[in-house]
Amino acid sequence: MSRRVTVAAAQLGPVGRTEPRRAVVDRMLALLHDAHRRGAQLVVYPELALTTFFPRWWTEPLADADRWFETEMPGPATKPLFEQAASLGVGFYLGYAELTPDGHRYNSAVLVARDGSKVATFRKVHIPGHEHYEPWRPFQHLERYYFEPGPDGFGVWEAFGARIGMMICYDRRWPETYRVMGLQGVELILCGYNTPVHYPPDPSQDALASFHNHLVMQAGAYQNGTWVVAAGKGGVEEGVDALAQSAIIAPSGQVVAQALTTGDEVVVAECDLDWCDRYKQTLFDFSRYRRPEVYGIICAPRGAQAAAGQAGDG
Ligand code: CDT
């Protein structure tokens, strides 16, 4: 009998600057019940799901941004989500801004098991955007001001009868993200995202935003023989249009479920985890076909790649 887990991507529409966490959690509870009704055992919520995408604004001093961060998980606002999910027997992935007791700020996601216990906390590895206020932009993308890069890399955990990994938004654009988890035998990668459709440094990419979103996740799924479940925040949030298109992608690289709207919406799919092995044991049999001895440059320090590329034959 094959191993199966039914998963949901719980997309959120815009969250306003003044929308209280409790109101957002109420919306998430409605999505949770919808997902549960449709058989989901695991629900994936977006990145920074509890608040508006605050890195679009500059806040100085940094401590004034503390109100966007969670100092405990669950906290008073998120406790109802933990309790309701546990009573339904549904686990979840929740993206939030984390402020640790020793003052570190991370863009994080917690994975919660069906009994309400924490499986793991993942901290976003690749931090996009810029460090300082840039007046030329129509809106800021100051993640590099608000967040430190996650120091722990990409782990894989046994949960929900699967080998599960996590990534957050910009992480999904990098092949190394999937491969590091692929080398640990990942079968199900969970992802939350907030992607502005307009990319100010190169607006020619705007028309391709939805193509690139699925391109990277479909390639990552296929090349590593894994499922990918990705939930975004969509719609126009505080004047900024965000890509929706939440999706569930099979190890074949096919999109098996996709959001139809840009608002609060649940998409569900039953994932056959044994499907991963069709790829992991054939075309992408890593132990047989990979050539790590010629991939060394991938792990060279930053900057070394350009220097290596300049060294020609004469
Ligand atoms: N939130 C997040 O990581 N967004 C990035 C935007 C990159 S452009 C600054 C993304 O990959 O969608």
Task: Look at residue 307 in the predicted model and tell me its pLDDT.
Answer: 65
Residues 111-148: tens digit of each pLDDT: 999 999 999 999 999 999 999 999 999 999 999 999 99
| Ligand 1 atom showing the smallest separation from residue 243 Cα | 12
- Our mutation pick for probing the ligand 1 site, out of 147, 195, 199, counting the most ligand atoms within 8 A of Cβ, is 195
pLDDT of residue 2: 83
List 143, 169, 233, 271, catalytic entry: 169
Atom nearest to 170 CA in ligand 1: 11
Q: Answer yes or no: 158 catalytic.
A: no
Q: Is 271 a catalytic residue?
A: no
The 3-state secondary structure of the chain reads CCCEEEEEEEEECCCCCCCCHHHHHHHHHHHHHHHHHCCCCEEECCCCCCCCCHHHCCCCCHHHHHHHCECCCCCCCCHHHHHHHHHHCCEEEEEEEEECCCCCEEEEEEEECCCCCEEEEEECCCCCCCCCCCCCCCCCCCHHHHCCCCCCCCCEEEECCEEEEEEEHHHHHCHHHHHHHHCCCCCEEEEEECCECCCCCCHHHHHHHHHHHHHHHHHHHHHHCCEEEEEEECEEECCEEECCCCEEECCCCCEEEECCCCCCEEEEEEEECCHHHHHHCCCCCHHHHCCHHHCHHHHCCCCHHHHHHHCCCC
State the catalytic residue, choosing from 70, 124, 187, 233: 124
By most ligand atoms within 8 Å of CB, the mutation choice from 53, 126, 170 for ligand 1 is 170
280 catalytic per annotation: no
Q: Which of 47, 70, 187, 237 is catalytic?
A: 47
Q: Output the pLDDT for position 7.
A: 99
- Please work out whether the CB of residue 49 comes within 6 Å of at least one atom of ligand 1: no
pLDDT in tens, the chain (314 residues): 789 999 999 999 999 999 999 999 999 999 999 999 999 999 999 999 999 999 999 999 999 999 999 999 999 999 999 999 999 999 999 999 999 999 999 999 999 999 999 999 999 999 999 999 999 999 999 999 999 999 999 999 999 999 999 999 999 999 999 999 999 999 999 999 999 999 999 999 999 999 999 999 999 999 999 999 999 999 999 999 999 999 999 999 999 999 999 999 999 999 999 999 999 999 999 999 999 999 999 999 988 766 665 544 43
Class of domain 4-312: alpha beta
Ligand 1 centroid vs 87 CA: distance in angstroms? Answer: 34
- The CA 126 to ligand 1 mean position distance, Å, reads 10
In this structure, the residue with its CA closest to atom 3 of ligand 1 is 170
Take atom 4 of ligand 1 and give the residue whose Cα is closest: 195
Atom 5, ligand 1: residue with shortest CA distance: 170
Quick check: CB of 129 below 6 Å from ligand 1? yes
Q: How remote is the CA of residue 242 from the centroid of ligand 1, in Å?
A: 10
